[in-house]
């Protein structure tokens, strides 16, 4: 049996997120023909939004899909992923702003753009 409180909370948040999605679709509409606009949100995400997006990516998809697959396929070697995510995430937030500034200045979107622009290959 479904709990009425849980259903109410679910529908309230679902309605809120849906309303915010419709509001955001009309707010500062970007030119989706540009790769930077489509792939990077026009480079308008702030630190807080980026923090939660990366945290959601690293600590959900990576932790619940990739790490168990590595453990199953490789055994105990897959345990490297646990300290790796704990240490790399804060370090990335120290080092990545510089990379972000360089990529923004040169209008690079993908890692291939960076390598081509930096090393000419």
Contact in structure between 3 and 10 (CB atoms under 8 Å): no
Q: Are residues 58 and 1 in the same domain?
A: no
User: What is residue 15's predicted lDDT score, i.e. its pLDDT?
Assistant: 97
Domain that holds residue 64: 31-116
On whether both 42 and 13 belong to a single domain, the answer is no
Residue with tokens 């697959």: 69
Q: What is the mean pLDDT of residues 53-65?
A: 78
CA–CA distance, 44 with 50 (Å, rounded to integer): 10
23 shares its domain with 50 = no
66 and 89 share a domain?
A: yes
Counted domains in the chain: 2
SS (H, E, C) 52-85: HHHHHHHHHHHHHHHHHHHHHHHHHHHHHHHHHH
Q: What is the pLDDT of residue 77?
A: 85
Q: What's residue 85's pLDDT?
A: 74
The reply to whether the predicted model has a pTM over 0.75 is no
- Distance, in Å, from the CA atom of 51 to the CA atom of 63, rounded to the nearest integer, reads 17
Residue 57 sits in the same domain as residue 73? yes
More confident residue, 104 or 9: 9
Distance CA 9, CA 7 (A): 5
Do 49 and 15 fall within a single domain? no
Specify whether 6 is located in the same domain as 25: yes
Q: CA–CA distance from 80 to each of 6, 43, 84, 97 (Å)? A: 37, 32, 6, 26
> Which among 105, 109, 114, 98 is positioned nearest to 36, based on CA atoms?
109
Determine, yes or no, domain membership for 66.
yes
- Is 108 inside a domain boundary? yes
In a domain, 24, yes or no: yes
Q: Does 83 reside within a domain? A: yes
Q: Is residue 121 part of a domain?
A: no
- Tell me, yes or no, whether 47 lies in a domain: yes
């Amino acid at each position: 049996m479904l709990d009425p409180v849980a259903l109410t909370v679910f529908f309230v948040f679902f309605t809120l997120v849906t309303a915010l999605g419709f509001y955001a679709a009309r707010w500062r509409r970007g030119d989706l023909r540009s790769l930077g606009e489509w792939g990077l949100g026009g480079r308008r995400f702030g630190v807080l939004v980026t923090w939660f997006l990366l945290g959601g990516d690293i600590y959900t998809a990576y932790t619940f899909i990739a790490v168990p697959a590595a453990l199953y396929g490789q055994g105990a070697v897959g345990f490297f992923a646990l300290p790796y995510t704990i240490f790399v995430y804060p370090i990335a937030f120290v080092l990545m702003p510089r990379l972000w500034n360089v990529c923004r200045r040169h209008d690079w979107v993908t890692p291939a753009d960076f390598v081509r622009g930096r090393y000419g290959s």
